[in-house]
């Protein structure tokens, strides 16, 4: 996937024009038994001008801003009901953040 901010909520240059922040993500889906998994890596090639106090929409430098893995599985509760659960471990190396996200659907 490739996405570029061409209008609206984007980082601005000193002259007020958009920086055209860009995000590129690659993913790989695979199965482990009955569990569906997705590994992903997000990158921004946009390099803002930090000397002029400009920051990018996705980060303060070009580089990896999103790295993680997700797993999804249905847990059988009864013969007629399964509970879909999903878990993701996501990190942003530029921001030095890590997140564990768990979700359940009814």
Average pLDDT for 73-92? 93
Beta carbons of 40 and 65 less than 8 angstroms apart: no
Residue 41 has pLDDT above 80, yes or no: yes
Mean pLDDT of 75-82: 90
Enclosing H/E stretch for 1:
none
CA–CA gap between residue 47 and residue 60 (Å, rounded): 7
The mean predicted confidence, pLDDT, of the chain is 87
CA–CA separation, 73 and 37 (whole Å): 9
Average pLDDT of 36-60?
81
Higher pLDDT, 68 or 50: 68
Total-model pTM: 0.77
Q: Region 72-86: what's the mean pLDDT?
A: 92
Query: Which class for 101: exposed (0-12), middle (13-18), buried (19 or more C-beta within 10 A)?
Result: exposed
94 falls in which pLDDT band (50, 70, 90)? confident
- For residue 26, pLDDT over 80 is answered with yes
Q: Is the pLDDT of residue 54 over 70?
A: no
Between the two ends of the chain, the Cα-to-Cα distance in Å is 29
The residues pairing with 94 across neighbouring beta strands, listed in sequence order, are: none
């Amino acid at each position: 996937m490739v996405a570029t901010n061409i209008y609206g909520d984007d980082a601005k240059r000193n002259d007020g024009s958009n920086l055209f922040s860009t995000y590129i993500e690659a993913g790989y889906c695979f199965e482990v038994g009955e569990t569906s998994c997705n590994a992903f890596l997000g990158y921004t090639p946009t390099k803002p001008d930090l000397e002029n106090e400009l920051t990018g929409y996705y980060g303060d430098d070009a580089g990896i801003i999103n790295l993680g893995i997700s797993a999804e599985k249905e847990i059988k509760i009864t013969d007629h009901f399964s509970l879909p659960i999903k878990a993701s471990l996501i990190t942003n190396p530029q921001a030095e953040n890590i997140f564990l996200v768990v979700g359940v659907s009814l």
